[in-house]
Amino acid sequence: MDQAITVPRLVAHLDLDAFFAAVEENRDPSLRDKPVIVGGGERGVVSTANYIARRYGVHSAMPLRTARRLCPHGVYLKGDFTHYREYSRRFMAILDEYSPLVERVSLDEAYVDLTGTERLFGPVQDTARNIQERVQKDLSLGVSVGLAGNKLVAKVASDQDKPLGFTVVRSGEEKDFLAPLPVERLPGVGPVMLSRLHDRGVYTVGDLAEVPADLLQLSFGEIGEILAQRAKGEDLRRVVRRGAVKSVSRETTFEEDTIDIAFLESTLLHLTEDVCRRLRRRRLESRTVTVKVRYSDFVTHTRVRTLHRPLDVDEIFFREALDLFREARCRLYRVRLLGIGLTNLSPRAWQDELFNQEIPQLRELDLKLDIIRDKYGHRAVQRGAPR
């Protein structure tokens, strides 16, 4: 009886190097020899720091005030997600040329299953190198690549030699590759877990691999069993294309806490316009809107409302969001953060109510504004103050 031939899986993990900062350097080449830090205002956190800034100790998720102390001469930018999303779209389009199995993890990160692509593109290692070179040539962005037999090891490998890293872990060498690395390099080992592992004398992935799986499960529950597998370089997860978008949201943290109602409602209007515009780009509609208000003492209130039918119209959602904000604004504290989210999404139906022309007219207005803003920028046309 013939036995089925098992083809070894070959997975590439690609991670764009200092993505937001690199896009800003493309837009303004004079930044390339300077420390560039992208983040959301004085009170926010660092989204991305280029490698020059990292020499001063600046890193992602660091409070911007700390970053300014470490690197006072750096160039600090709020960033523009319109440009980042466009670069991300072009990045993913390149990956789609090499495999039907591209799993987008974030704007700057993806897995590509290259199993069986040899007949089209030649040796997989050469293909992964070609992708890296394409990204550099077409987008002027650096990307680090990890190539291995599964997603876990490929991800760890892509971070091994940044920037422009290219690390290949051959089949059977996964455990040896991981063993000398700090245990926090494993996905899932955060600060709390790291502290608990250090308390047990576990500092490297090799140390973790020596701990019996049943003991890890007894100590940490289900995650302990997963850690035991990861320490040995085992991962059965497949590369899968992401499903449909589940939600569209946007929030902003103010540089100073505020009780200026007019300013807050105007901000809510701009956030609503942004999420509705993203809905229309994806040809989606939403039935449920959520407004989030976080106060200066970090207490967070949310309000949710579901419409009688799905829509994608700025004006309708802003009316609902404004009403929800006024419900949620029930404390005298200053506001630190404001956000809006749209969920309960469905494909655009393109069927309006026969005797209600308000919604079609409002949508037509939104679509025309989208065209103008796509061509001339978001600030080309702005709505008046909320009523």
Strand order in the sheet with 46-49: 46-49, 36-39, 75-77
- How far CA 275 is from CA of 120, 237, 250, 265, 303, in Å, comes to 40, 32, 7, 16, 17
* Catalytic (active site) residue 256: no
What number of CA atoms fall less than 13 Å from residue 224's CA on the CB side? 13
Q: Which of 103, 109, 174, 265 is catalytic?
A: 109
Amino acid at 100: P
H helix runs in the chain, sequence order: 19-27, 51-54, 64-70, 81-96, 118-121, 124-139, 151-158, 174-178, 191-199, 205-210, 213-220, 222-231, 261-281, 314-328, 358-376
Contacts of 151 (CB under 8 A, 6+ apart): 11, 13, 111, 235, 237, 239
Quick one: tokens of 290?
């959520």
Q: How many C-beta atoms lie closer than 10 Å to residue 32's C-beta?
A: 14
Q: How far apart are CA 120 and CA 118, in angstroms?
A: 5
Q: How far apart are CA 170 and CA 152, in angstroms?
A: 13
Enzyme catalytic residues: 109
